[in-house]
Amino acid sequence: MKERGINILIVGKGGQGVLVAGDIVATVFVNEGYDVKSSAVHGIAQRGGPVSCHIRAGNKIYSPVIAKGKADILIILDSGEGWDSVKYLKETGPMFFVMRHMSQATADNFGPIRKRFKENPNPKIVQVSYEEAVKGCGNIKLINVFMLGVFSKLFSIKESSWVKVIIETFSRYTRKANLAAFSSGRKLKTRFSAKA
């Protein structure tokens, strides 16, 4: 995997911990010996505006930005945000997202995306319901780390490597809750599906 590299895009809205999740992913890959570049793009994050984090890892990475159609993995923390980011995902790349009630405008945007994945001969979608995510997190503010647990199973990287970085990232006051959210995400039974 290091030879060909990997591009991961995490999107959501301000307050969901997109950038923290990106930092955790980047650090895990650095610790595994990868060259890593990352960048953040955000609107008015403190007001719930759109936020995205690009993470690129490989033998040698020159640019921190993922080109359209080149993301290996897309993680959407809120179904109300980030659907325009699907254009960055490779046709065979997996998408992880948290689904909750959509506004009509969001549903209209989601329609073509659903069609694209249904027509894809090798669709890879992991959909986690909002209620399931809240139950797994215990606190919706931990949804970022919960989803890291869900998608971390894609890699051969040991769980202990992720846990180490999470311990280093959070203070002793929030560490236990974040570790529990990550563990809950790891344990969640998921399978790739064409349905969305």
The pLDDT of 36-51, averaged and rounded, is: 75
Query: Looking at the predicted structure, is the pLDDT value of residue 113 above 70?
Result: no
Query: Looking at the predicted structure, is the pLDDT value of residue 150 above 80?
Result: yes
Architecture of domain 6-187: 3-Layer(aba) Sandwich (3.40)
- pLDDT score of 80: 65
The DSSP H or E segment spanning 57 is strand 50-58
pTM of the model: 0.83
Query: Looking at the predicted structure, is the pLDDT value of residue 98 above 70?
Result: no
- pLDDT score of 131: 75
Tokens standing for residue 107: 């549903």
| Three-point CA angle 20, 25, 29, nearest 5° | 145
The region of weakest confidence among 46-55, 89-98, 117-126 is 117-126
Q: Residue 16 contacts by C-beta under 8 Å, 6 or more apart in sequence?
A: 51, 77, 78, 143, 144
- pLDDT score of 196: 35
Tokens standing for residue 183: 């563990």
The pLDDT of 151-164, averaged and rounded, is: 92
Amino acid at 79: S
Tokens standing for residue 147: 């989803």
Q: Angle 159-169/175-187 helices, nearest 10 degrees?
A: 150
